[in-house]
Structure 1
Amino acid sequence: MKGGGISSYNAMPGKRRWSWLVIAVLGLVLLSMLVPLAFLLGLHNGFHSVANTGYANEQRSSASSKKDAAFASPITKEGLSSRVDGLLKNLEPSLPKDFRRHSVKEGENKTGISVPTQVLNPPPKRLNDEVDLSTEVIKTVKVIGESEKMCELKFGSYCLWRQQHREKMKDFLVKKMKDQLYVARAYYPSIAKLQNLNQFSLEMKQNIQEFERILSESSSDTELPPQVEKKLQKMETTITKAKSHTVDCNNVDKKLRQLVDLTEDEANFHMKQSAFLYQLAVQTTPKSLHCLSMRLTVEYFKTSPIDADVSELLLNPELLHYVIFSNNVLASSVVINSTVMHAKASKKQVFHVLTDKQSFFSMKMWFFTNNYKDATVEVLNIEDLNLQGHDRSMWVPQELRVSFLSKSKTEYISVFSHLHYALPKIFPSLTKIIILDDDIVVQRDLSALWGLDMGGKVIGGLQFCNVKLGALHGYFGKEKYNPNSCILMSGLNVIDLVRWRELDITKTYQSLLQQREREGSGVGVGGMLLSFEGLVVGIDERWVLSGLGHNYGISKEAINKAAVLHFNGNMKPWLELGIPGYKVYWRRFLNRENRFLSDCNVNP
């Protein structure tokens, strides 16, 4: 017994230790569950903004708040007002992240939110970031701080195209029934609780059940039963009657807020999805044009055509030499055909088409089988040229989209590519050339441009004054320039190669590139815009009319007066997205009887 007593006595501390150990383990398990839960709830409520939510202050004062709980003062009127203000602040709609970021830099107005008149996205840090720029790829220079009202600034030409192609909603009645059903469901619980409204509550329940049955069987207006208009009117009357009664607003408000939030999220999703698909359609080669290129390539290797010896014409500086950078067979053909059709002396015209290896053989086959009066056409593969020191990754003209927040306006500017600065090396025997982009249509004879007085300057072209150099300051470093200078547009440019070589414009451009790389941002756009600073001869605006690839408001009178139509923008005439009213000026120079066009069903 004595031994047993001692054994019992010694076992008690062990049991106590085990009980405390179990409690400690349970406490750790509970904490391991509560801490992640609190963390997730904190993220959901936005506690990352310490200055706004006061989460850090609450955490620090949690211990002292327990001690002072017994001495807490009653809620005052001022305290209640501050709580209400804080609640309203948390419920207000959030602004875009970019808007908040730039509001600190640009300063604040009376409302505490800055609205800069013109803001630019910072240029890419590496030169490789611009590899995807091409004639069909539009680079966004500046779109930040935009609201949903400035759709064009956010999504570019997509919004203009969407307005032009707006169609009537095919399931309008179905959507209207869903909206009415949602509102009726929001009011029904409160109506059912009210006394002396049993009959109306039953009627409302029957209407809801009938709508649920119809919507379960119908997904479009064509599937709806007859006399659905009367059912909609009946439900509308029921909802109006429900609103006339005094009900619990909390439940109704919660339901309607859910409806608004869901609708807004769905609208934003579809808007972004549509804009993405629009940009994808812009940047993707249409199936018919891809088929055309493939058919021409196959035909080239089947027939192996032999070029005629026209080397004397290609090297003769006395002739009129045009240069086109393009990988689009159809677009290049339209440019050459429209130029030749309006020329007084087509025999003097020589066209040099520079393209990449992928499009070289299709281009060769097309211009071998098609004649353009007496003009001479040469196709060059840029990969076969000896152009060491020149970047070939971006060789077609670029287009930049510039948006002005203060004017709610978007402009598109076209500039040279890296390979344009190798022209004196590509054509060493030529003295003067005219560069044509592949998205233009010529409507007048261009021979007068060869007599343009350059006045010792290098390049002549359209100076686009809707966008000044100062608007693109983000692409310039410490270089000196006049911010009020107009942008030189590509599309139609006269170049004095002799003067180019004397001033070594290519070296100037390369030094600008190297300077930007040393400053940490290897962007070629700044060098392209500044390389001809002070060396530009402006041509009359009647020579070139731009904007046919994004502007719906150009009149027929202005189009007929212009010598050259420039389809700069997203809506190229060879795409289905092209503006229908302007396509006719491009289509008239297509040879629709060509068998390759018929085989590939090319009908832009």
Structure 2
Amino acid sequence: MEQLQCLLLMFEVSNGLVARAESVQLGLDTTIGYSHLGGAISSHNTMPGKKRWSWLVIAVLGLVLLSMLVPLAFLLGLHNGFHSVAHPGDANEQRKSGSTKKAVSSSSPVVKGGKLTRVDEVLRNHGPTLPKELRRHSVKKTENKTTGFAVPIQVSNPPPQKHNVVAGSSTEGTKTNQVTGESEKTCELKFGSYCLWRQQHREKVKDFIVKKMKDQLYVARAYYPSVAKIPKLDQFTQEIKQSIQEFERILSESSSDIDLPPQVEKKMQKMETTITKAKSAVVDCNNVDKKLRQLVDLTEDEANFHMKQSAFLYQLAVQTTPKSLHCLSMGLTVEYFKTSPDGADLSESLLNPDLHHYVIFSNNVLASSVVINSTVMHAKVSRKHVFHVLTDKQSFFSMKMWFFTTSYKDAKVHVLNIEDLDLLEGQSSSHLSMPQELRLSFQSMSKSRTEYISVFSHLHYSLARIFPTLKKIILLDDDIVVQRDLSTLWNIDMNEKVIGAVQFCKLKLGAIKNYLGKENYDADSCMWMSGINVIDLVRWRKKDVTKTYQGLVQRRLTGKTTLGATMLTFQGLLFALDDSWVLSGLGHNYGITNEAINKAAVLHFNGNMKPWLELGIPAYKIHWRKFLNHENRFLTDCNVNP
């Protein structure tokens, strides 16, 4: 409105100037005509006067054109870049309509010295109005203080996604249930649990000088090709090249601020001066932009490669037996064949149903020893305890030698080779592998979460046949530490149930429907974990649990893991133990407090970071290490110090 009024006003002024010029021209013509008619003016005086009036007309017409073009140019400049002055009429209309404007903090202009900067005023008053959809997914730009380039930062929130269960194979040889968005490929599927561990426990960058040097090196590399193309800047090109080579040499030898050589600040100031000169040079910005993008892409590819390599090494460290433990197993095996211990552990007293029988499936000597030692140390009466360690043929002799030379108060240890036993019908001994954990990963809108579920293997369903005379057993995993007396569990009333276990209600059966097939089940039922389980073998045989499991296996509800078949086998046969019995997550969760650890009866180190590995969480390993006999000669010879 303001611009239109100004345009009309200038148009009226220009029309007045044109009319005035026409009147001058008319007076000129009248004067010339009068001189011809009256003859009062001589011919030699008339021609010079006519020329003077002609130049006057041309000058007036030029002024008229300028008077029209200048206001037009001014109005165009006002629309594109100048601040328009508020018209009183607009304010009156706003007051009449009662509309008010509220200042938004994110869009308020920058104030310098109490006044708005010209650029901010122009952006505020003449900036485009975006639709709501674009505003929600807008991209803000921030300036990198080191490089001076504008870097886009996405600030939009992703739209809500439906969650579904996606089955994927993990690097550990077990299947993974991945709860994720329909179109989102998560970090867990790409890099395994290492990536989630890296995200959850990322440390802040402390080496700021090294980081700043890398930024300067990137900018110098981006400008170098463009500056090198200018013949007049040959000397400056050599200066940039030398600075780049010097920074590359320093960063190749130093990865932290402590390792940096002396006087590195002077070198950084020199590089900063070089970058400033490069920015002031007349170069093609498109070439600089392309080079910088190329460097960023190469760095991203390199980082992706190192992340994959780190994830592989992480999984390798998790699955590989440490050198010291391998030495321990081999040393015990050699010692067994040298001494040939007797078979005193085959006495009938080991199968007395009146004793407290514990069963451990393991091929790890050190882990089994800690489980037995921690249980016995907290037992009120140790002479009633009998531990049955079921292992494979490869670890059998080392297990026999270890428990033959190591005593646990008055408790007895019985070692069995599962390959020598007549177990499930129709199952080969190679199929009866040792128990494994199942990793289940979840992707939500806020964060990623991984849980480790230890479930029964095929071996567990042979317990009734392996121990035909026993009535009740307590099943222990080899990655636990006992902190209380377990005698109460032997007298617990399970209300005609077959198995007692701690429920895991963070995960429902409906979330693993891919493993359950078309069987009938309650989708809202909680899952449960092994770790510590009370099993009534009398009711097991009465319910014929082994036959139920075999029927589910024949319907292909199991593969590399027995998750689906195990959960359906014990449907309606599970007695829920109190949650205070077992504290899980010490093999992957850094957020467990000391108070919770001290209250738990059993600590379960489920997860990749087992306490006997170097990857084990140091804050939790102390609760496991205190049950090791560090003076044992086999541990000393192999330098076992987890």
Q: TM-score, normalised by structure 2?
A: 0.69
| 1:262 alignment counterpart | 298
In the alignment, which of 363, 366, 372 is matched to residue 336 of structure 1?
Answer: 372
After superposition, residues 74-153 of structure 1 pair within 5 angstroms as: 115-121=161-167, 139-142=175-178
In the alignment, which of 330, 337, 344 is matched to residue 308 of structure 1?
Answer: 344
Task: Give the drift of 1:219.
Answer: 2.8
After superposition, residues 4-403 of structure 1 pair within 5 angstroms as: 115-121=161-167, 139-142=175-178, 154-157=191-194, 159-160=196-197, 177=213, 179-191=215-227, 202-203=235-236, 205-212=238-245, 215=248, 219-221=252-254, 226-240=262-276, 242-243=278-279, 247-308=283-344, 311-387=347-423, 388-390=425-427, 392=429, 393-403=431-441
Letter in 2 for 1:515: R
Alpha-carbon distance change, 229 to 482 in structure 1, aligned in 2, over 3 angstroms: same
Say if 2:450 is the partner of 1:413. Answer: no
| 2:569 alignment counterpart | 531
Residues in 1 aligned to 2:316 and 2:432: alpha-carbon distance in whole angstroms: 20
Alpha-carbon distance change, 390 to 319 in structure 1, aligned in 2, over 3 angstroms: farther
Q: Tell which deviates more after alignment, 143-152 or 414-423.
A: 143-152
CA contact (8 A) 2:360 2:477 kept: yes
Task: Give the drift of 1:521.
Answer: 6.7
Task: Give the drift of 1:400.
Answer: 1.3
Residues in 2 aligned to 1:468 and 1:531: alpha-carbon distance in whole angstroms: 16
| 1:599 alignment counterpart | 637
Name the SS for the 1:121 alignment partner. strand
Name the SS for the 2:502 alignment partner. strand
Letter in 1 for 2:365: V
CA contact (8 A) 2:501 2:533 kept: yes
Q: Tell which deviates more after alignment, 280-289 or 477-486.
A: 477-486
Name the SS for the 1:305 alignment partner. coil
Alpha-carbon distance change, 182 to 430 in structure 1, aligned in 2, over 3 angstroms: same
Name the SS for the 2:500 alignment partner. strand
In the alignment, which of 454, 462, 465 is matched to residue 425 of structure 1?
Answer: 465
Name the SS for the 1:290 alignment partner. helix
Residues in 1 aligned to 2:460 and 2:559: alpha-carbon distance in whole angstroms: 21
In the alignment, which of 516, 528, 534 is matched to residue 488 of structure 1?
Answer: 528
Name the SS for the 1:256 alignment partner. helix
CA contact (8 A) 2:345 2:414 kept: no
Task: Give the drift of 1:276.
Answer: 0.6
Letter in 1 for 2:399: M
Residues in 2 aligned to 1:408 and 1:353: alpha-carbon distance in whole angstroms: 37
Alpha-carbon distance change, 412 to 391 in structure 1, aligned in 2, over 3 angstroms: farther
Cα RMSD of the aligned pairs, angstroms, is 3.2
Question: Highest CA radius of gyration, 1 or 2?
Answer: 2
| Larger relative contact order (CA 8 Å, sep ≥ 6) | 1
Residues in 1 aligned to 2:383 and 2:261: alpha-carbon distance in whole angstroms: 71
What CA deviation, in whole Å up to 9, does each residue of 1:129-157 have, x standing for no partner?
x9x96xxx665332766979856995315
Residues in 2 aligned to 1:183 and 1:595: alpha-carbon distance in whole angstroms: 59
CA contact (8 A) 2:180 2:442 kept: no
Q: Aligned residue pairs: how many?
A: 479
In the alignment, which of 580, 585, 591 is matched to residue 553 of structure 1?
Answer: 591
Residues in 2 aligned to 1:320 and 1:144: alpha-carbon distance in whole angstroms: 45
Name the SS for the 2:556 alignment partner. helix
Alpha-carbon distance change, 534 to 240 in structure 1, aligned in 2, over 3 angstroms: farther
Q: Tell which deviates more after alignment, 142-151 or 184-193.
A: 142-151
Letter in 1 for 2:592: I
Task: Give the drift of 1:232.
Answer: 1.5
Name the SS for the 1:542 alignment partner. helix
Residues in 2 aligned to 1:330 and 1:565: alpha-carbon distance in whole angstroms: 16
| 1:447 alignment counterpart | 487
Name the SS for the 2:344 alignment partner. coil
What CA deviation, in whole Å up to 9, does each residue of 1:528-551 have, x standing for no partner?
221111111111111000000000
Task: Give the drift of 1:236.
Answer: 2.3
Name the SS for the 1:537 alignment partner. strand
Task: Give the drift of 1:443.
Answer: 0.2
CA contact (8 A) 2:217 2:247 kept: no
Name the SS for the 2:474 alignment partner. strand
CA contact (8 A) 1:457 1:536 kept: yes
Residues in 2 aligned to 1:161 and 1:367: alpha-carbon distance in whole angstroms: 39
Q: Tell which deviates more after alignment, 263-272 or 239-248.
A: 239-248
Uncovered stretches (5+) of structure 2, i.e. residues with no partner: 1-155
Residues in 2 aligned to 1:457 and 1:158: alpha-carbon distance in whole angstroms: 41
Task: Give the drift of 1:564.
Answer: 0.2
| 1:580 alignment counterpart | 618
Identity of aligned residues (%): 67
| 1:8 alignment counterpart | none
Alpha-carbon distance change, 152 to 159 in structure 1, aligned in 2, over 3 angstroms: farther
Name the SS for the 1:277 alignment partner. helix
Alpha-carbon distance change, 118 to 157 in structure 1, aligned in 2, over 3 angstroms: farther
Residues in 2 aligned to 1:540 and 1:190: alpha-carbon distance in whole angstroms: 71
| 1:99 alignment counterpart | none
Residues in 2 aligned to 1:211 and 1:148: alpha-carbon distance in whole angstroms: 38
Task: Give the drift of 1:245.
Answer: 6.3
| 1:477 alignment counterpart | 517
Name the SS for the 1:473 alignment partner. helix
Residues in 2 aligned to 1:548 and 1:203: alpha-carbon distance in whole angstroms: 59
Q: Tell which deviates more after alignment, 157-166 or 357-366.
A: 157-166
Residues in 1 aligned to 2:194 and 2:221: alpha-carbon distance in whole angstroms: 40
Residues in 1 aligned to 2:298 and 2:474: alpha-carbon distance in whole angstroms: 55
Residues in 2 aligned to 1:165 and 1:341: alpha-carbon distance in whole angstroms: 38
Task: Give the drift of 1:453.
Answer: 1.0
| 1:53 alignment counterpart | none
Residues in 1 aligned to 2:559 and 2:321: alpha-carbon distance in whole angstroms: 31
CA contact (8 A) 2:471 2:538 kept: yes
| 1:41 alignment counterpart | none
Residues in 1 aligned to 2:390 and 2:187: alpha-carbon distance in whole angstroms: 39
Residues in 2 aligned to 1:416 and 1:223: alpha-carbon distance in whole angstroms: 51
Q: TM-score, normalised by structure 1?
A: 0.73
Name the SS for the 1:219 alignment partner. helix
Alpha-carbon distance change, 192 to 291 in structure 1, aligned in 2, over 3 angstroms: closer
Letter in 1 for 2:513: H
What CA deviation, in whole Å up to 9, does each residue of 1:373-410 have, x standing for no partner?
11111000001101233454343322111111115211
Name the SS for the 1:120 alignment partner. strand
Name the SS for the 2:313 alignment partner. helix
CA contact (8 A) 1:397 1:490 kept: no
Task: Give the drift of 1:238.
Answer: 3.3
What CA deviation, in whole Å up to 9, does each residue of 1:311-368 have, x standing for no partner?
3322211111100000000000000000000011111111100000000011001111
Residues in 2 aligned to 1:152 and 1:551: alpha-carbon distance in whole angstroms: 19
Say if 2:555 is the partner of 1:515. Answer: yes
Task: Give the drift of 1:252.
Answer: 1.1
Residues in 1 aligned to 2:324 and 2:202: alpha-carbon distance in whole angstroms: 22
Letter in 2 for 1:466: K
